[in-house]
Chains A and B, each alone.
Chain A
Amino acid sequence: MRRYSYHKPQTIEDALRLKNEKTGAVYIAGGTDVMVQIKDRELRPSAMISLRNIPDLARIKVNGGARIGALTTIADIIRHPTLGQAFPVLMEAARRIGSVQIRNVATIGGNLCNCSPCADMALPLLVLEAKVRLRGSDTTREVSIEDFFQGPGESCLLADEIMTDILLDRSDENAVAVFMKKGRVQMDLAVASVAALLDMEGDLCRKARIAAGSVAPVPLRLRAVEEKLEGSILSEKMIRKAQELSKNSVSPITDIRSTEDYRRQVVGVFVKRSLEKALTWSQQ
């Protein structure tokens, strides 16, 4: 086991200062990814800067829209009294993450900053068009969640920056949003996953936001599918077209968890089911 020093700053300012002072330091949130990367020797930090003791980072505020502190645990998101009512799709994704033990410590910001193509929390945030707030030593900036992801394990975070908040605008009251994930068992990372947000007027699709996970280098918005759907009547034929287009809009790989072909199939089926679900709801 490689040794490192462990720091527990109480303020964001102290955390940023430590990160600049200590070469080879990494931030740690819940640790469910970082601790595994250290064990596997993918990460060899000289210092660990824990963000878990900064109270400002773990607050949730819901007022139509929402501001979720990046250090909020997945369990606290699930338990929150009003967040789930405002953004049910966020809750569906949170419940599908790992185990109780993982959800009790893993954080929403950690899930995003790990930048895995299969990050469960990324998909609802993509269809809700969330922004993330990034704080550096001298700057604070807001970035759309879509621009945040740059590649597998890569984000637009600068070396010292900390993700402080996830920002959500008031959700469209007519829109329905769904999250679907295929894993071998609940504990597993997704083989493929889809989130969809659809605003319907009868069978006319006014607005569509669709995102897919584990099927590209980053959690991906399927813009071509969205454009095809918006302003269209969701006929059986249109749903089939959207299913085919979804399969061709992603670039999955074959790896230990699944094959390229199967992942394409799953994304197509999930998009089809999302559209059928939205249609049923809008007609009720």
Chain B
Amino acid sequence: MRREISFFLNGSEVKVAAMDHMRLIDILRDTLNLTGTKEGCGEGECGACTVIVDGQAVNSCLYPVFEVEGKKVVTIEGLQEPENRLSLLQQAFVNSGAIQCGFCTPGMILSAKALLDSNPNPTEAQIRDALQGNLCRCTGYVQIIEAVKKAAINIRDSE
């Protein structure tokens, strides 16, 4: 049986019909067609499905959709700036060569965003801890850490 659920997605309220057993990632990808969120392992190991719920990075593959009722969800699509511009964080990933195949990138960026939103000036150790739950099988970790460092500087400068 389907029933309606409402939550805030990338700043706007959405109401969708969902089935009880669905996970947050199912609604994002299959119902709302927001395929930027990726499913890798489906068990919380790889972090490709990372989204931000009420300010906290979570694995959307382990998140029962009905737990998101009334909460604020941010996906990679929510980072886009007006006129299709990339956010400073996304641009830092591009400039640092922190994207290889790209599959892990949305999850990496959302983990990094959750970190920078709560800690605008993180140490390298804090960046590594924040990205511990995101695997990159192209193994481009050095550039990814660099990208987050650069993004932190650029975001601070822009404010």
Contact = CB atoms under 8 A, between A and B. Distances in A.
A39 B64 contact: no
B4 to A, nearest CB: 14
B85 interface: no
Contact of B132 (A1, A28, A48, A99): A99
Contacts of A187: 45, 132-133
B42 interface: yes
The 8 closest A-B pairs by CB, nearest first: A99-B133, A6-B20, A104-B56, A35-B62, A36-B43, A101-B133, A101-B59, A3-B21
B117 interface: no
B42 A39 contact: yes
B133 A102 contact: yes
A75 B54 CA distance: 14
Contact of A100 (B21, B42, B111): B111
B58 interface: yes
Contacts of B50: 101
Given A32-B59, A48-B64, A105-B62, 18 more contacts: A6-B64, A8-B67, A28-B64, A35-B43, A35-B44, A35-B62, A39-B43, A75-B56, A98-B133, A100-B57, A101-B50, A101-B59, A101-B111, A102-B59, A102-B133, A104-B56, A104-B58, A185-B132
Main secondary structure of the interface of B (DSSP, over half): mixed
A52 B58 contact: no
A66 to B, nearest CB: 23
Interface in B67-82: 67, 69
A281 interface: no
Interface string A1-34: 1111110100000000000000000001001100
- The CB with the most chain A CB atoms within 10 A, among B57, B64, B111, is that of B64
B67 A186 contact: no
Interface in A23-59: 28, 31-32, 35-36, 39-40, 48, 50, 52
Interface residues of B, number: 29
Contacts of B111: 100-101
28 contacts: A3-B21, A4-B20, A6-B20, A6-B21, A28-B64, A32-B44, A35-B43, A36-B43, A39-B42, A40-B43, A48-B21, A50-B64, A52-B67, A98-B44, A98-B133, A99-B44, A99-B134, A100-B115, A100-B132, A100-B133, A101-B57, A101-B111, A101-B133, A104-B58, A105-B63, A186-B132, A187-B45, A187-B132
B130 interface: yes
Contacts of A75: 56
A36 B41 CA distance: 10
Interface of A: 1-6, 8, 28, 31-32, 35-36, 39-40, 48, 50, 52, 75, 98-102, 104-105, 185-187
B47 A101 contact: yes
B31 to A, nearest CB: 14
Interface in B58-116: 58-59, 61-64, 66-67, 69, 111, 114-115
